[in-house]
Structure 1
Amino acid sequence: MYIPKITLDRTSGIPLHRQISLPIEEAIVGGELEPGTLIENEIDLARRVGVSRPTARRAMQTLVDHGLLLRKRGTGSVVAPRAAHRLAQMPSLNTDLRAAGEQPTTEVVTYNYKLATTAIAEKLGVDVGAQVVELERLRLRNGTPMAILYNWLPVAIAPSREELEERGLYELLAERGITVASTHQTVSAMRPDRREARLLAISTRQPVLTIERTAYDSAGQIVEWGLHTHRGDLYQYTSTVFAATE
């Protein structure tokens, strides 16, 4: 059984559940743990590191959601097959389009410097009044609009408007030494408003998919928050699901 070495810093802005999941994630992705390795159960983990059981459960569920752990009834949580680890790799629309032989282009619709409101400060984990960049981009595939990408990020790491017209956000962040290690996202279906429909060249009756995403670096710090709107007829989502073993 793998018992992770976890040291909590309760003065840190990093959530406790993320301080717990991160060392386990690094051990799995780094190859320290073999597939099938049993992980300490959340009850013992919570007691050992001094957190509530819901906090420990959330940490373990994060690893399950990232494709790094599998829950086995009667056994507990075990390291997933390495094929599942690809689920932890962060998707990039720009990179995926290029890999598919498409020619993506980007129009920067909005690029503003602003002071974080209470709502944005909470989303980004920064102080109210901190300077942030508000970014809205229109992503096109072979000249056809396919997504509106709306992001907020700290001004200290924000790429320039000119850079973003040529390359993807995560690619530019990586060049700054910032690697997006994980995200928490919610996908919803809805109808676009008139402005969104105009930008995407569709009718307001045509459904779109929205993805609300918070991205974290390897230390668990929030890198950016985004709300992306995709044309339903041009968006494809692929995932791998592993069946639980009795």
Structure 2
Amino acid sequence: MTVDLQDVPGDAVAPARLITLHDIDRTSPVPLYYQVAQRFERAIEDGVITPGAQLDTEVQLAADLGLSRPTMRQAMQYLVDKGLVVRQRGKGTRVVQPKVRRSLELTSLYDDLDRTGQHPTTTVLSFSTGAPDAAVQKALQLDARDEVISVVRLRCAGGQPIARLTNHVPASRLQVTAEDFQNHGLYQMFRTAGIVLHSANQTIGAQTCTRDDAVLLDLEKGAALLTMERIAYDDHGLAVEFGQHVYVATRYSFEMSLLAT
């Protein structure tokens, strides 16, 4: 059945009209709950499902799509955790107002720049594969005999340097070259490799610009830099990335939203 999404009323959204059995690929390595949640997320962000709209129950949606209730419950919880919907006892699940942002958006700088039409460019400063040092080994939960891909890149947009990015990835999870890093974002390559990111531990800080970074980032020595250290995990709970980045404070900022629980 083909349904015009524009015909879905804003105050009573039937999820089965937004997702059909054809939208779910049961042979894909992407979990079923994540496929469903992503379809809803796109519909909410695109305005197809409007703020205040009430969603059908998990029981109804699970029945319509031929999925289990635990799978549907996990999909809805994903949307709740991202701040896109709220559950109210006796009132069901409703889409929140646009000003409520997701609690964590696990994207890369390349994705952020590309999505906003800023045409990112990348220069690979170093690329190597070898044994991890103690810090990388601990962050990625590896053995000393495991190998990691380590890459340092300069990311630019609009002709200006934005960040120096240092990433470490288990070599067993990704088969890539320096040229791949030159032409693609890391998370883009993860998606191509079938790696589904699920969560991350992230620490944001600040530091002053060193002499080397001043030359690289076209700044004065001592200028303000934002720092971010991230360990990202896939949907199996395995660490797939350890990133240590510095950003030009006057050209980039982090936005976070907090949800009351």
TM-score (ref. length: structure 2): 0.62
Q: 1:87 to 1:80 in 2, by over 3 A?
A: farther
Gaps of 5+ in 2: 1-30, 41-54, 59-78, 87-92
Q: Which residue of 1 aligns with 2:210?
A: 193
CA distance in 2, matches of 1:149, 1:68: 30
Determine if the alignment matches structure 1 residue 241 to structure 2 residue 243: no
Change (3 A) 1:204 1:158: farther
- Seen in structure 2, the aligned counterparts of structure 1 residues 176 and 81 have a Cα distance that, compared at 3 Å, is same
CA deviations over 1:10-54 (Å, ceiling 9, x no partner): xxxxxxxxxxxxx9x97x9588xx8xx9xxxxxxxxxxxxxxxxx
Q: CA deviation at 1:87?
A: 3.5
Q: State the alpha-carbon separation in 2 of the partners of residues 134 and 116 from structure 1.
A: 9
Match of 1:129 in 2: 145
Secondary structure (helix, strand or coil) at the match of 2:151 reads strand
1:240 Cα deviation after fit: 2.5
1:155 to 171, 175, 187: 171
Q: CA deviation at 1:66?
A: 6.2
Listed as ranges, the gaps of 5+ residues in structure 1 are: 1-22, 38-62, 71-78
Amino acid at match of 2:176: P
Question: Match of 1:58?
Answer: none
Pick from 177, 189, 212: which aligns with 2:194? 177
Write the mapping of 1:24-173 to structure 2, written as runs, cut at 5 A. 29=37, 86-156=102-172, 157-173=174-190
Contact 2:225 2:247 in 1 (8 A): yes
Cα deviation, residue 175, structure 1 = 0.3
Partners of 1:65 and 1:121 lie apart in 2 by 30
- Counterparts of 2:83 and 2:210, CA distance in 1: 34
- Deviating above 3 A after TM superposition, structure 1's stretches of 4 or more consecutive aligned residues are 28-31, 63-70, 79-89
Q: Which has the higher contact order (CA 8 A, sep 6+)?
A: 1
| C-alpha deviation, 1:106, in angstroms | 0.1
| Distance of aligned partners of 1:177 and 1:203 in 2 relative to their CA distance in 1, 3 Å threshold | same
Measured at CA, do residues 118 and 80 of structure 1 come closer, stay the same or move farther in structure 2, by a change above 3 Å?
A: farther
134-143 or 91-100: bigger deviation:
91-100
Displacement of 1:90 in angstroms is 1.2
CA distance in 1, matches of 2:110, 2:220: 24
Percent identity, aligned pairs only?
31
1:48 corresponding residue in structure 2: none
SS in 1 for 2:200: strand
Question: Separation in 1 of the partners of 2:220 and 2:134?
Answer: 34
What is the CA deviation profile of residues 189-236 of structure 1, one whole-angstrom value per residue up to 9, with x for unaligned ones?
110221122111101221100000000001110011000100000012
* Counterpart residue identity of residue 224, structure 2: P
Q: Does 1:225 align with 2:224?
A: no
Q: Does 1:207 align with 2:224?
A: yes
Which residue type is aligned with residue 118 of structure 1?
Answer: A
Structure 1's 64 and 198: CA in aligned 2 closer, same or farther, altered over 3 A? farther
CA drift of 1:159 comes to: 2.5
Q: Is the 8 A contact 2:104 2:256 kept in 1?
A: no
Instruction: Write the distance in 1 (CA, Å) between the matches of 2:260 and 2:139.
Output: 33
